[in-house]
Amino acid sequence: MNFNFSWLLCAVLCLSACGDPSNSKVAVETQVTDPMEVVVSESQEANYKTAEVQMGWVVFSQTHPGRIEVNERLVNRIGASLTGRITAVQVETGDVVSPGQLLAQISSPELTTSQLTYLRASAALALAERAVERAKQMIQADVISSAEFQKRESELSIARAEQRAAEDQLRLLGLPSMSIDRLRDQGRIQPEGDVRAKQGGVVVERKVSAGQVVQPGDSLFTIADLSSVWAVASLPEQAARYVSKNQTVAIEIPALDTSFKGEIVFISDTVQPETRTVAIRTQLSNPKRDIKPMMLMNMKVDSNGKMVPLIPSSAVVRDNDRDHVFVQIQPRIFRLTPVDLEPAVEGNRPVLKGLTQGEMVVTEGAFHLNNDRVQRLLTSQPAAPKPGSKPQVAK
């Protein structure tokens, strides 16, 4: 009895479920697309324009800030050649000097001692020369032996070497040839050493004052020939591959309100780790010295042209700090695709990576299309079915 009642109850429930549409599991499943994809309805399709990715010849032009620097090949740093006290300074920073011009004077006991050593060596040399002359006469008269004559010749050679060494020491201490000749001929000791310019130019640095004690190795003056200067710029490491040596560049100096043409004479082989930049420089002629070191300048660099894929700037959208474009993968279906691009050139963006020639991209309306995609993700609304897809019925 209980068994039949249970069976009957189950049958009634089953029949009730089959007859009530509200309890059925019939449902339409909409297909959710990739989060990077957007489906456009037929009514909205006219709002978006597409075009093929085309190849184009591009000359990349970039402007990089920099500054004017002295030409290091024309810089002479003058240091002290002996230990002593500065008694006089003859020039100031900014003075124009000529080669050999007196810059400062140093009173030094070391210089006096070296001059006395030179006088002794010169006197010994003169004595040795006279001894050899007498020996020549005596050996002819058979008064001395050949061994004695050779001994005196050897002493003469040593005296000459000592005199040359003493003279070289004076030159190292900065004593000019004229003073050495006067010392040898007249025996006049020069009490002070001269610091002289070795080249002409402008005194750009002075590190010494009267009364200061200096020693060899101390830097006293820096003289630069400013008839030629360097324009130095720093390129991002990504842009360094577009420049080459001897390439012509334009130098704009805002302070002078003018521009110059120059050639790249140096490209660094290393990257500055702090700034991730590569140093390049060009050399500028500066006969009037109107281009001043440390002036700010801009260097415009045009790279060698090449064929690259091009897309209009209007096709690019920014998402997550990257450049993207919408690529058409099917009619009315577009996918947001990341790309690597160069700066705009005449309204177009050269493509480094992410697109190939012939692909269809959205050229107008990409910004609004991306807004629709983002809005769908934020509201978690399922996407519309892809065109041509059919709803599936759960069985």
Q: How far is CA 330 from CA 14, 327, 353, 385, in A?
A: 46, 9, 22, 13
Q: Give one DSSP letter per residue of 247-280, joined into a string.
A: -EEEEEETTTTEEEEEEEEEE-SS-BTTTTEEEE
Q: What is the pLDDT of residue 17?
A: 42
Choose the weakest-confidence range: 16-20, 102-106, 142-146, 156-160.
16-20
pLDDT at 205 over 50: yes
Prediction pTM value: 0.56
* Tokens at 389, concatenated: 């897809």
Q: How far is CA 258 from CA 3, 53, 170, in A?
A: 108, 40, 50
pLDDT single digits (tens) 230-275 = 999 998 888 787 788 888 899 999 999 888 999 999 999 999 999 8
Q: At what angle do helices 109-140 and 177-186 cross, to 10 degrees?
A: 60
Delineate the domains of the chain, giving CATH numbers in brackets: 29-58+307-393 (2.40.420.20), 63-72+226-305 (2.40.30.170)
pLDDT single digits (tens) 272-313 = 999 899 999 999 999 988 999 999 999 998 876 778 899 999
Higher pLDDT, 242 or 94: 94
| Alpha carbons 76 and 96: distance in angstroms, whole number | 13
Q: Are the C-beta atoms of residues 385 and 30 closer than 8 Å to each other?
A: yes
pLDDT at 106 over 50: yes
